[in-house]
Structure 1
Amino acid sequence: MGFRNPIHRINDSHAYNGVALEETDKAPIINQLEEQNPTRSLWTPFVLRRTSIGLFLVTFVACIITLAVLYVYSDRHHGLASTDESLHYLWTYGPTAFLTLVAALWGQVDFRTRQLMPWQIMLHGPATASNTVFLDYISSWEGYVLWSSLRKRHVPVALSVFGALLIKLLIVVSTGLFALRLVTVHNFHAEFLMLDKFGGGGFRQAVVDFGPFSTIYSIHKYGSDYPLGTTSQYAYQTFNTSSSNVTTNTTLIGEIDAFHSPFTCRVLLDNVTASLQWDDGIVTKTVQVDPDTRLKITDDDIKISTPDCEVSLPRWDNAWQALFTSCDGRKSIDSEYDPEVDEMMSSSRDRDSLLLHVVITADEDDQSDFQDTQFTAVYCDVDYSIVRANLTIDNPLDPVPMLDTSNSAKHPDRKLPDVTNFDILNALRMAVQNMTMEAIPSITMPPHWQRSSHFFTVMNSSVSQPQDSNWLDAYKIKRAAELSFPPLVAQIAKLYLLHSAEDSFTGVQINSENRLIMQDLSFSLMQGCLALLFLIGVGLFLVAPRQGCPKDPGSIGSMATILAASPEANKAFEGSGGQDLQTLKGKAASTLYRSGLSSAPSGMLQFRIEVEPEQTKMGTDGVEHKIEWWRPFSSSVVAQVLIFLGPIGLVIALEILFQQSERNHGIADIGSSAYIQYTWSYIPAVTMFAVALMYNLLDFGARVFQPYSLLRRRASTAATSILNPQLGKITAKCFYDSLRQLQPATAATSLAVMLAGLLPIAASGLYTMRNIPRLTPVDVRHLDSFDFMSYGGNDIPLSRPDLILNHNMSYPRWTYQDLAFPSFVLPENNTHEPQALNTVLNVSMAAVRAKANCTALNNDNINIISKEHGVHVNLTLPERCLRPVTTYKPYEALVDFNYSYFGRMLETQTQYPDECPTLTIISGHAQKDAVSTANVLLCSPYFESVETNLVLKVPSLDIDLSHPLITIEKTAKPIASSNDYSQVVPSDSFTFSYSQIQPHDPAYRTDYDGVLSTMAYGFHGTPPPDLVGEENLPHLQAAFQHVYGVAQAQRVSWQFRQETHTPSSSSTLSAITAVLHNPDRARLVQSGISTHLLAGLLTGMVLCAAVAFFAIDTRRTLPKNPCSIAGQASLLAGSEMLGENVIPPGCEWWSDRELRRRGVFGGWMFSMGWWKGGRFGIGIGHAEQEHQ
């Protein structure tokens, strides 16, 4: 039969469903379809319909938009969310699982496109045999199909295969899409709470005590830190955050008010010498110091004149003076020695500058009429302002503040309404006058010294002078004043101008958080892949093969019905069942094939395959020849080795790596490269895809062979063989059908493929990066130990315990609270270890701690006698403690306060220390005409050692307070008591030399000594009412233990520390365990869940493969690959099953389900083998297994 045109022509009235209808000589093509009222249409798979492709397009666009939105959000917010590494399966498994589902659905698009491509070509034929009946895109792997389809310009196949490869790439890339990374997050609208604010109310009436100076002294003497809220130049507001999201890596930044009081000094006189004449007094003398400066000296006054300033001051010989002054010529006010100085200053508040004056007169024993006198004067302007500043607080758990005033010029300075410059100067005067003079090493004063201002003593404490200094160098005074007084004023402002407040404001909170971020490379690759997939989807929307054949041609029965309606094709392939495809392709090289619709003699619309030129049968089955049996790649030795040994090897490797990860807290350290994370994300996914590929090949082979193997072994019904297509089914459906039909091979391979589909999902969470501390044991070198037989001498009177407990001095190094630690250093050979910014040293060591060991004295032994102005407390101590001791007796000067809360600590005098207490603590309350009460503690102190775990900063070895110290109480053991060493309880006042704290606004009257004052009003003190009454004995004991423990820890550190190179037999030297702790060590960690999941999946796949190989035999089953039209037709052509008695006309339009419903092939048994005449193929009945 000849074709009128090699390409179908579609005429206006000669088309059906877009398919041209041709007239032939044997079966005339219908020209007027409308007259026949045709009801048949060619088949389009559901997944290739434009609606389905449109859904894919919507999915791809939705993914593109979603990823873009997430990426922008991640970029702007430094990640998508703060989360914990333990939840990483959510963001690793999720995207991979979704894309795996998309891949499964796209697999149907790809299969149907490959399947329908030769039918579509035949429909628009005629075309060569190699492009139609021999075209096999189904059994080839994707790479070859892509290359082949591009070479042949089969665009739909190229698009679908390329799409499948892109989705696989997407799955791999998605494993590295999200990552948990420690990033810096800025919250520019964080809610903060201001803890205080500046106010001048009551400042003029305040009595400034020695507290400010004590703080400055501790800084200069012991290197203590400035208290929070102050620097060397500023006092500032403090704030905190109510956020629970605060760690050691948190930084708070807020705009606050800062108090600044600079001292600007200028030299008026610099060691000017004047020879003064005496004649019953000083003869007035004027000295022209320089062209601009004149000095006038009278018997009572000294006047210094410059072009812009004139000062007048009382004259004293041999004096260091500090005077309140101004440049208007009025007499200056001596800040310390003038009679009624307070009254004078209250009426002269405009004298708000400080004049520091030194005058030294020659020895008065000199009998000459002239005496040389030296003058030095420095004029200091005192000012203050409230400025705006930025306060940065690193690690709010152990605050490290940093004040930045660089932008203060953008805001106008201001002053407090009720505070003048004079008020600041007067407060400085009170702080200086109330300081403890004995605290500061004095300098030698010249002979016949008349005046010595405390201001010079303060300057000497900050800028020490030689012992013989006489402060005549004006520039030294200028420098010392500018350095000494602003820090002291800052402390005054902190204590007296800052008042508690709770004001909300917004600031910046910076946290180093584990944030879920989108990684740039994965995002870019995924967006690119999705964009390409969208274009591919658009292409398939337009050119996907549709309506290429009347139904799904996948089953053997479907091909039989089409072949039964195509006598030319049946004849052409008759007898070719035993021949290989290459031979058949050679014979059909000059043959053209096409398909179309025609009208049967009955008027029924038929679909048939036509051949041109009409060809005699290609088969030679009747001729003796040897069959070359075909087997799929999955049946080869190489494939079987990969299928079985590959997963087993992976399971072993995974287990070895997992054990190493568990044992070493990770597999390896991770570098800082931004791209290194992709290696442990992509490589496992690619590896699992390779494994899945081998099992997909195994599954494909099993599905192809299943019906043919069944027909080869025995005669079977149509439902289980020729009407049971395996290819094209979704894997889950194939698994279900195989179980239902008892076909173990395809059931096993389908299950294996489903398990293989989970491999990339499980592999996506296999490796994660975790900050696992690097713990490096280090050796330390002891510097000292504690020896209670060695006495280091007394500390200075203003003791460190007083500064710590009453003035909030930070603990000196190697002490904390009631613990004293031996000191050590890290040897140089340990410094090679690389140290991250947050590296700390975990130390376990024995500390020395003092225990007060107090018990309450029975009330029967306490006698309180009321007197006119107070009470008299008489105690009766235990036997052998000599005599009753009068322990409290009010002083006359304190008579007005006798009836109040009272208390004192006494050292008990006794000759029997084994039986009698060493210290006695009294705390009581007395009220006239009311019952008085007192608690008395009898204390026998001792020292003990206790193992302590602490964290030190590196390299400073300061205690890191963001990690609490832990004392292991079960290790505590006494090491010294008053019975052993006389120095346990000192006979001097070092330990208990405490300041008498006077609260600014006392709520109770008190009559306390330094110890009780510290217990009540020191930092972390206990209010007086809580120290009185039997029910408060635990509070009293705890308060004294705190004070005593802190004091003795400082004493131990100061007096009993002995260098280790000369240890004595009584020294306490214990082993120190030290471990460097680097918390920011990034390690590659293998997930136990993913490891075990992968091991389970791979093991299950191997078992499935073993079942499949055992259940199906691919040997001597098929002579050729049956996935092409020719391969399948050659096994059916010439069979009696194609007769009308088996396949009625029109069956080519019926689906497999319809065929079963109508009973086509019903009642027949089918098998495959040799038939009469030597044909090899599928037929009705029982075929011969071997060629006869």
Structure 2
Amino acid sequence: MMGETQEKSTGTAVIIGERLNVRQIPAHLLSGLLGFVLMLVLAAIALAPAKGFLPRDPNTIINMATLLAHSRQLLQCLRGTGAADTSIVREKLLGTNYYTGVEPYEKAEKEARGYFKIFGGAPPPQNQPPEFVRNADWKHPLPLHPWTRLAAVVTMIGMIVALEVVLRISNAHAGIATTKANTDRHFLWTTGTGVIFGLVVLYLAAADCATRCLAPYAKLKEGGSFETTVHLDFMDKSKHRILFDAVKTQNIAVAFTTTALIVASLLATFSGALYSTTPIPSSRPVKLQTLDSFINASAPCPTCTTDTLLASLILDANLTFPSFTFEDLNFNSLQLSEPLDMKDGAGTIIATVPALRSRLDCRLYPQSEINTNFTVPDIPNQFSQNMKVNIAGEPCLDPSVRSNAVLPPGVSPSSVFGVATPRSAASSQCSDFTYVWGQLSDTTPMQVGYISALGCNETLETVTAKIRLTGTSLHVDTTYPPVVQENTAKPIKLRLLPLQYGLLANLTTGNQLDPFFSSLVTSRFAVPAGNLGDPGLGKSGLVADAIVRQHGILRAQNLNVNSRRRLPDITAQQTIPAMLESTSVTSLRRLVQDNASTRIIQSVLGLLIALTLVAWLLMPGTDTILPRNPCSIASVAALLADGNVFGFLGRGAEWQATEEMKRSFLDGSHSMGFKIGYERVRKRRGAEDVNGIRGDGDMAYGINVKRGGGWGGGEDVGLGILARVNGAQRGFVRGWGKM
């Protein structure tokens, strides 16, 4: 029996886990949606032209101007509709078909490409003057309407509040609802949440698109350069390019709406993990019987060394807490009144039981109330020294209280020290326990750099705690620490046996610490040794809390070893109701809301609200920029027809490179500007103009080129595009010096 041997043994481990399963209904729905998307992509590829049919990208205003410059009939139909709404523009264009094509130049050249133009349109007679619309009803784009924006913000705020309410319900009731494992009803929560988040993303996408469409015209409203107005393209670009260009051209509203759309993509990512189901273990009530109680221990105590050694192993050797103890708590030993059935399997027992624990009422003394002096023995080569401590608040402090500050050669004089002294029968100290700690001076060990003290009086109290018991011997489950109901604390009279701090393991720390403080800075519940020398009030509080905790563990084992007595008749004791949670699970599951996913989604929604509000503030008056949606050929053509941009575009501008075409808008060595707004339409030159009488004309809303001087402007006074305009002729040039 005593010899070493090697034998094989076979055991069985029961592990309750969950398999990762693929549900049929969600899998089929996803497969169907992916198939439908694939069909749409293939149809788009098949129907899209294989080759380009436009000479320029139509996503900028200036490119649209080059494409429309020679569409004379279309522009004549739209003359005067720059400020009109969509219905009036549609009415002007009804009754004919439109198509694109290339018309040869009047004098065909060998390498000439011809005029690109849009054919179609029924313009009014040339002798009939155009009617300029000014009383149209301008409206906000629907995604940018103030009420729409307000509704979106309120909806996102409501979603944040709803998520918080549901999360608290889930935490309070261990779930939201109960479902069965073989049904897909719980997927409605995830699907419904995903649909709501999808609607938010769709709105943000619509608001971003509308903001990007209006951005060039918002810049034109204020007036700007070629690059920041008519050549601005926020439509046919990736998101990172849009952000870069928006910041570069100071379109901050576009930057915020695009950022909001990018951030909104996180909603779909985390909505899938927002709700999950957890199995509900089978449970049934059981009864527990009390096996022992705590009594007054007799003195002298033959086992009063065992408790300290046991506590030292718990602190410094990571020993498991003995049965029915946990840190500073002592529970009565319990057993089941009836053995468990085989069908129950392994499980845990949850019960609410009374517990016994130590209570320390302490006072922390500051350095100003503590005096110290050292006594160095007059012996050659003696490195030990005694330190006496006098505390103003402890006038009856035991004069024998001193540190075991042995200062061996090579030890830094700034080492920390600590000493704990329980009150003995022969001592006269006031407090039941006194703790002194600090740090020696940097210059010499004969002085104290910092010192603090704690005086504590001890009593016992009973509390009620909720515990989990596992195993056949019903150990306290340390993975679920007992939950103490602090409002149930009641004092109890019980003889306290002395604690022998000196029997704790005194591990070498390189400092002047007694066994109690040595464990305080090395155990599994340790505080850093540097805290003992830190004069900060917060660090002193941490040391005091650690002292109280370590003392509670020592006292708990003292009571466990010396005061626990088995009851002679356990059948006479009242039983304690408990609940057995078995590992054999049922088909029922609880739908729970994930805390981490909730916080992430709430943060994302909060960021989206902030981005939406800032974008709203940066572009508030969207009903004063354009009378209609600018994302149509007719809408842009109407704005250009009532402006003067076409007068600067030469023949073949649609075939030119951008830099070459840009030179058409040079005013000498200066670049011309662009602006949208109302301009007075000058009447054709007539007799009244020759005699000096000028008519006021109508007001047209369109995109105009603004010149500040230099070459150009001659086309308005009959001198040609490149003619130099002198001072006398400037009054005849529209927009001279205005931006």
Task: Name the aligned partner's letter for residue 564 of structure 1.
Answer: A
TM-score of the pair, normalised by structure 1: 0.34
2:242 is equivalent to residue 754 of structure 1: no
Measure how far apart 1:746 and its partner are. 0.9
Whole-Å separation in 2 of the counterparts to 1:661 and 1:598 = 71
Distance 1:822 1:725, change over 3 A: closer
**2:32 corresponds to:** 528
Pairwise CA distance, 1:1134: 4.7
Q: Is the 8 A contact 2:114 2:652 kept in 1?
A: yes
In 2, the alpha carbon distance for the partners of 1:1138 and 1:974 equals 103
What is the aligned-residue identity percentage? 21
1-side partners of 2:85 and 2:125: how far apart?
Answer: 15
Separation in 1, partners of 2:129, 2:628: 15
Which whole-Å CA distance do the structure 1 matches of 2:150 and 2:344 have between them? 48
Where do 1:953-972 residues align within 5 Å?
Answer: none
What residue in structure 2 maps to residue 286 of structure 1? none
- Which residue of 2 is the match for residue 763 of structure 1? 271
Structure 2 residue 193 is matched with structure 1 residue 684: yes
Q: Kindly indicate whether the alpha-carbon contact (under 8 Å) linking 1:642 and 1:694 is maintained by their aligned counterparts in 2.
A: no
Q: Is the contact made by 1:565 and 1:608 (CA closer than 8 Å) also made in structure 2?
A: yes
**Cα displacement (A) at 1:678:** 1.4
Which residue of structure 1 lines up, in the alignment, with residue 591 of structure 2? 1084
Q: How far, CA to CA, are the matches of 2:254 and 2:213 in structure 1?
A: 9
Structure 2 vs 1, CA of residues 775 and 551 (structure 1 numbering), >3 Å: closer, same or farther? Answer: farther
Instruction: Show the 5 A alignment for 1:463-502.
Output: none
Per the alignment, in what secondary structure is the counterpart of residue 605 of structure 1?
coil
Residue 774 of structure 1 and its aligned partner are, at CA, apart by: 8.8
The aligned amino acid for 1:554 is: N
CA–CA distance in structure 2, aligned partners of residues 563 and 1160 of structure 1: 21
Kindly indicate whether residue 654 of structure 2 is the aligned counterpart of residue 1148 of structure 1. Answer: yes
Q: Is the 8 A contact 1:843 1:952 kept in 2?
A: no
Match of 1:1111 in 2: 618
C-alpha displacement of 1:572: 2.9
The superposition leaves residues 493-516 of structure 1 with CA deviations (integer Å, 9 ceiling, x where unpaired) of xxxxxxxxxxxxxxxxxxx53333
Aligned pair count?
A: 453
Other structure's SS at 2:623 match: coil
Question: 1:670·1:1082 contact (CA, 8 Å) conserved in 2?
Answer: yes
1:717-732 paired onto structure 2 within 5 Å? 717-732=225-240
Q: What's the CA shift for 1:539?
A: 2.2
- Alignment-derived partner of residue 14 in structure 2: 248
By relative contact order (CA 8 Å, sep 6+), the higher-ranking structure is 2
Structure 1 residues 77-226: aligned runs within 5 Å: none
Quick one: structure 1 residues 966 and 699, their matched pair in 2 at CA, closer, same or farther if it must change by over 3 Å? closer
Change (3 A) 1:836 1:690: farther
Summarize the Cα distance change of 1:554–1:952 in structure 2 as closer, same or farther, 3 Å threshold: closer
Contact 1:562 1:607 in 2 (8 A): no
Do residues 647 (structure 1) and 119 (structure 2) align? no
One-letter amino acid matched to 2:22: M
Cα distance in 2, alignment partners of residues 1057 and 949 from structure 1: 25
Once the two structures are superposed, the pairs formed by residues 214-293 of structure 1 within 5 Å of their partners are 239-240=10-11, 247-249=13-15
Distance (Å, rounded) in 2 between the aligned partners of 1:699 and 1:641: 16
SS in 1 for 2:18: strand
CA distance in 2, matches of 1:519, 1:823: 44
The one-letter amino acid of 2:238's match is I
Kindly tell me: are residues 1071 and 1165 of structure 1, through their superposed partners in 2, closer, same or farther at Cα, counting changes over 3 Å? Answer: same
Deviation string 1:667-703 (CA, Å, 9 cap, x unpaired) is 3444334202312321221111111122122212211
Whether contact under 8 Å (1:845, 1:1073) holds in the other structure is: no
| In 2: Cα distance, 1:538 partner to 1:1123 partner | 26
Aligned partner of 2:59: which letter?
G
Residue ranges of structure 2 left out of the alignment (5+ in a row): 1-5, 296-330, 356-464, 483-492, 496-565, 682-698, 708-733
SS at match of 2:17: strand
Cα RMSD after superposing both structures:
4.6
Alignment of 1:839-988 (within 5 A): 840-842=348-350, 951=469
The DSSP-based 3-state class of the residue aligned with 1:515 is coil
Contact 1:661/1:1086 (CA < 8 Å) preserved in 2? yes
Are 1:767 and 1:1084, in contact at CA under 8 Å, matched by a contact in 2?
Answer: yes
Distance 2:346 2:129 in 1: 84
- Give 1 or 2 for the bigger CA radius of gyration: 1
> Does the CA contact (< 8 Å) of 1:1166 and 1:1181 recur in 2?
yes
Cα–Cα, structure 1 residues 529 and 736, in superposed 2: closer, same or farther, change >3 Å? Answer: same
CA distance in 2 between partners of 1:1169 and 1:1114 (Å): 14
Match of 2:206 among 697, 716, 733: 697
Match of 1:355 in 2: none
State the partner residue of 2:636.
1128
Note the C-alpha offset of 1:824.
5.8
Shift of 1:523: 1.9
Q: What is the rounded CA distance, in whole Å, between the counterparts of 2:265 and 2:294 in structure 1?
A: 72
| Structure 2 CA distance for aligned equivalents of residues 1137 and 964 of structure 1 | 80
Q: Does the 8 Å CA contact 1:841/1:1075 hold for their aligned counterparts?
A: yes
What is aligned with 1:1181? 706
Q: What's the counterpart of residue 178 of structure 1?
A: none
SS of the residue 1:1178 aligns to: strand
Which residue of structure 1 lines up, in the alignment, with residue 53 of structure 2?
548
> Does residue 100 of structure 2 align to residue 599 of structure 1?
no
Matches within 5 A, 1:682-831: 682-712=191-221, 714-771=222-279, 780=287, 825=337
Tell me if 1:557 matches 2:79: no
**Cα 1:784/1:1153, change in 2 over 3 Å:** same
Q: Deviations over 1:166-199 (max 9, x none)?
A: xxxxxxxxxxxxxxxxxxxxxxxxxxxx977xxx
Give CA deviations for 1:1150-1179 in whole Å, capped at 9, x if unaligned.
565775599789811111111222221111
- Aligned partner of 2:142 in structure 1 is 633
Give yes or no for contact 1:950–1:966 (8 Å, CA) kept in 2. yes
Deviations along 1:767-817, one digit per CA (max 9) or x if unpaired, are: 2223477999x68475998999xxxxxxxxxxxxxxxxxxxxxxxxxxxxx
Whole-Å separation in 2 of the counterparts to 1:960 and 1:570: 91
Tell me the TM-score normalised to structure 2 length. Answer: 0.53
| Alpha-carbon distance change, 1176 to 845 in structure 1, aligned in 2, over 3 angstroms | closer
Aligned residue for 2:37, secondary structure, equals helix
1:966 and 1:535 map into 2 onto residues whose CA distance is: 54
Q: Structure 1 residues 716 and 1082 mapped into 2: Cα distance closer, same or farther (>3 Å)?
A: same
Q: Is the 8 A contact 2:201 2:265 kept in 1?
A: yes
Amino acid at match of 2:655: W
Alignment check: 8 A CA contact 2:226 2:674 kept: yes
Confirm or deny that 1:513 pairs with 2:513. no
> In structure 2, what residue type is equivalent to 1:749?
T
Aligned pair in 2 of structure 1 residues 1059, 1093: CA closer, same or farther (>3 Å)?
closer
Aligned partners of 1:575 and 1:620 also within 8 Å = no
* 1:683 alignment partner AA: G
**What amino acid is the match of 1:615?**
P
Question: In the alignment, does 2:635 pair up with 1:1102?
Answer: no
Whether the 8 Å CA contact 2:194–2:271 is kept in 1: the answer is: yes
Counterpart of 1:675 in structure 2 is: 184
Deviation at 1:1057, TM superposition (A): 4.0
TM-fit CA distance, 1:530: 2.2
Q: What letter matches 1:248 in structure 2?
A: V
Deviations 1:875-910 (A, max 9, x none): xxxxxxxxxxxxxxxxxxxxxxxxxxxxxxxxxxxx
Q: What is the CA-CA distance between 1:570 and the residue it aligns to?
A: 2.7
Contact 2:288 2:578 in 1 (8 A): no
8 Å CA contact 1:632–1:701 kept in 2: the answer is yes
- The whole-number CA distance in structure 2 between the counterparts of 1:964 and 1:1092 is 28
What amino acid is aligned across from residue 766 of structure 1 in structure 2?
A: L
The 1:1114–1:964 alpha-carbon spacing in structure 2 relative to 1, beyond 3 Å, is closer
